[in-house]
Chains A and B, each alone.
Chain A
């Protein structure tokens, strides 16, 4: 307990809360004294209670809330100590990187600022699972509401808050999960001892924590009803006060993305082991590299878009035309255009989807050869298809706006580019099938999740082109079909591979083996549950159910399907609790795992479990190709003094 209360996590969160609290107090008092119509108050929590009842005090001050939220982030960063080294550098000192637990128990490393990439990776992983649970709980709440027609226990505002928060909180969880995989695996797979910029790496993680806390706090501090997209002019005019917390939490999370993307790109380019050419890297590194390049190049535009909404709300700048001044209009000054936001937003948010799924697809490509005992079919094609997806995926953004007020002619090029995404994605699918073909497959839990991922991602992929052609999208746009399609791509492209990765590298991370029977139970509940959920979501969308609605009429005849979706959602929720139990209990008491339980050729499995502080005791050398299964004596890496085989 003592260690917890002195951890970066606890002190940071406390500092964040106190900074926000006092900043709001001071700012409202200042503005009150300057003559603004605000109520000076020290307490800005609980603007809306959990049942959606608005208890915002009169004189609530939104500009002060924005500044207080920004201050609260700085409070977290200063109190957690992640900035300490940089501040010392500013003061002319030369702080050394510290390694290890500093005399405390080993587990305390995971709740303190630590620069080791494996610790940061596991920190990301634990955050990801925690935030996934929060987001999943929100989903289960509103799925229970949707199980029957009629409003049972939520009203419009609380439903809107729940689904909006579910969206953005899950996105925060996915970014954390991507961070977990790329941070833990990236450096060790290229044979490096750590990331290129360890302090920046720690900063990436520790800035994502307070931004996730801001998002979660936003639910209770007013809530918001804009969805995760936050389109103006709704987001600029909604009276639900939590919208600023949503915008800022989303915005601040972007810092994490940009910095960690940059870090991985530099690490991959400059820190590869001797002999590891680009086409000898494990395939996951290619996927992580493509995702990281996207992350560090497109995130900025959503930052711009969100800043514009924050500014339009807080200080009245007019970007999107909602609050056009009549005198300006009379003078012929053009007002803003709400579609500007949609372009900026989707220019980031579509590629962001590829940031989430590319590492997952990399995990699929990485694990299939190991469990099929066959080389990865068409390594170069799969590697380049990741880059191809990233490139084509950057020019398809307006397919989210096929029913918007864009000029009809401008929708056509985006339909064309969207359909082209099918080509590199198809290369991946066909190569996976060819890898499995004649493979002597072993069906341990990671392989099951990889196969589940392929089946679910196939569901998501096949439901894509029908949304890409404009005419059919006119029917399906903003329907529940999109919800089904999106969840299939994200479960298939991120959630299933992430779980496969957790099971696969669990012995490497903890040195112990998870419980195989519980792992299989998790799989056999989750896969059918997901298929039922996703197919039924697509079905009700086809029949005319809109997305983001708190209630639906019995006139659509979809009540039975809705009940089924809710049951399937609950099944998925329970299966994830099984995984959690498995991971926690196995970490304490399971048998010790060997260094290479899967017979993998990947470099990290040639080093002991858990990995040493600097991954390898001496620099490794790459002398062959990564996936030469089926050739005896084929060597990929030479690890000096390797334990085990």
Chain B
């Protein structure tokens, strides 16, 4: 094979591969996200779909997710296309026992594929940095909620409402929340997938904590109080599950709590004790696998009203619930 012929055939190969890489990148991105790039078309199934975002912090995070999906799609194409192309085009022909051409390396190429990834790395360092600090950034009108994690449950306290105790987090939509979290025993982690943020909850100074629990008083300053901090700003009304994400023993899988994101009016009523959350233990302690759980939760989400544990599935009570919430809103305005 002459050198000239080799060069021209390489040009053909590289042209085909260039086109294939572009096609493959777009295809992989579409498969990962379910959205055809540069269009509004959705294919309805994304391999790496993330849950619907429900917090302000999700916005920079989802932007970074998208950048990563592009990176994954592109790098996948850059490796897999030439790999498969070589396998199809250059494979050993029947009866050909000779060796392939002696190409032992190319320093320029090696430097290129060291330096170009460095540029990608630099870009992701900057984006990673920016999005991280966007997520950490405090807001002006934060409300503080204190969380206590223990095997295998969560307690929440509202220092701004006289240390009011709650088994669920209840917040008005759009209200920035500062979570101060402590563990009473082992490491737990607070995760709401729709909020995207996660924070491990460490058991620092469990003694001081217990002392404090007895008084339910957090105003006293003591040296060892070192809560783990997490911020989120809910932007969607609804009920979200808190999942403990750090292995903590027997019932780790069932260590769940709920975040109720209500309208401001409903939230004010709740603070005043006039708005009833689903207090039914069957609801709050429902284990994964209890069949009725989802339907009831849906009803609750759609109705934002009182929860009726006797109602089964998504039958008529949904309407009833809506009526009730309307009545509740009325009393609020008066």
Contacts and interface: CB of A to CB of B under 8 A. Distances in A.
A548 B252 contact: yes
Nearest to B288: A553
B249 to A, nearest CB: 5
Nearest to B60: A471
B198 A427 contact: no
A378 interface: yes
Contacts, number: 307
Contacts of A415: 125, 128-129, 132
A555 B293 contact: yes
Interface stretch (B89-97, B158-166, B274-282, B313-321): B89-97
B160 to A, nearest CB: 24
B185 interface: yes
A233 B86 contact: no
Nearest to B69: A466
Interface string A447-485: 000010011001000110110111110110111000000
B105 A469 contact: no
B87 A465 contact: no
B316 to A, nearest CB: 23
Contact of B248 (A234, A412, A628): A234
Nearest to A628: B102
Contact of A474 (B51, B118, B135): B135
B207 interface: yes
Given A475-B193, A555-B241, A156 B65 contact: no
B149 interface: no
B253 A423 contact: no
Nearest to B72: A462
Interface residues of A, number: 103
Contact of A375 (B103, B120, B189): B103
Given A405-B202, A429-B79, A472 B68 contact: yes
Contacts of B117: 422-423, 426
A364 interface: no
A510 to B, nearest CB: 25
B64 A471 contact: yes
Given A160-B252, A233-B203, A546 B245 contact: yes
Given A233-B185, A329-B207, A338-B187, A440 B105 contact: no
A553 B104 contact: no
A629 B102 contact: yes
A577 interface: no
B91 A535 contact: no
A441 B68 CA distance: 33
A261 to B, nearest CB: 28
Candidate in B49, B127, B129, B226 with the most chain A CB atoms within 10 angstroms? B129
B196 A440 contact: no
B151 to A, nearest CB: 9
A51 interface: no
B82 to A, nearest CB: 5
Nearest to A553: B288
B319 to A, nearest CB: 23
Interface stretch (A11-19, A110-118, A269-277, A318-326): A318-326
B251 A373 contact: no
B38 interface: no
A462 B75 contact: yes
Given A373-B99, A433-B79, A472-B64, A627 B104 contact: yes
A156 B250 contact: yes
Interface stretch (A72-80, A287-295, A537-545): A537-545
Nearest to B181: A405
Contacts of B72: 462-463, 466
Interface in A192-245: 225-227, 231, 233-234, 237-238
B79 A438 contact: no
A458 B79 contact: yes
Interface string A72-108: 0000000000000000000000000000000000000
Contact of A478 (B93, B127, B189, B208): B189
Interface stretch (B108-116, B140-148, B168-176, B303-311): B108-116
Interface in B217-246: 223-224, 226, 228, 241, 243-246
Interface string A428-443: 0111011011111111
A374 interface: yes
A381 B82 contact: no
A430 to B, nearest CB: 4
A377 interface: yes
Contacts of B200: 403-405
B100 A372 contact: yes
Interface in B288-308: 288-289, 293-294, 297
A304 interface: no
Contacts of B125: 415-416, 419
A374 B191 contact: no
Contacts of A547: 245
Contacts of A554: 288-289, 293-294
A440 B247 contact: no
B23 interface: no
Residue of B60, B114, B228 most packed against chain A (CB within 10 A): B114
A234 to B, nearest CB: 4
Interface of A: 149-151, 155-157, 159-160, 225-227, 231, 233-234, 237-238, 321-322, 324, 326, 329, 332, 335, 337-339, 372-381, 403-405, 408, 411-412, 415-416, 419-420, 422-423, 426-427, 429-431, 433-434, 436-443, 451, 454-455, 458, 462-463, 465-466, 468-472, 474-475, 477-479, 535, 538-539, 542-544, 546-555, 625, 627-631
15 contacts: A226-B247, A322-B203, A322-B206, A381-B114, A423-B118, A423-B121, A436-B86, A440-B93, A451-B83, A469-B128, A471-B134, A475-B65, A475-B196, A478-B191, A538-B47
Given A160-B250, A436-B87, 16 more contacts: A225-B247, A233-B185, A233-B187, A237-B185, A335-B224, A375-B103, A378-B106, A426-B113, A427-B113, A436-B90, A454-B79, A471-B134, A475-B50, A539-B47, A542-B48, A543-B49
Q: Which A-B residue pairs are the 10 nearest by beta carbons? A: A544-B193, A553-B288, A630-B102, A469-B128, A150-B289, A549-B253, A234-B186, A471-B131, A156-B250, A478-B245
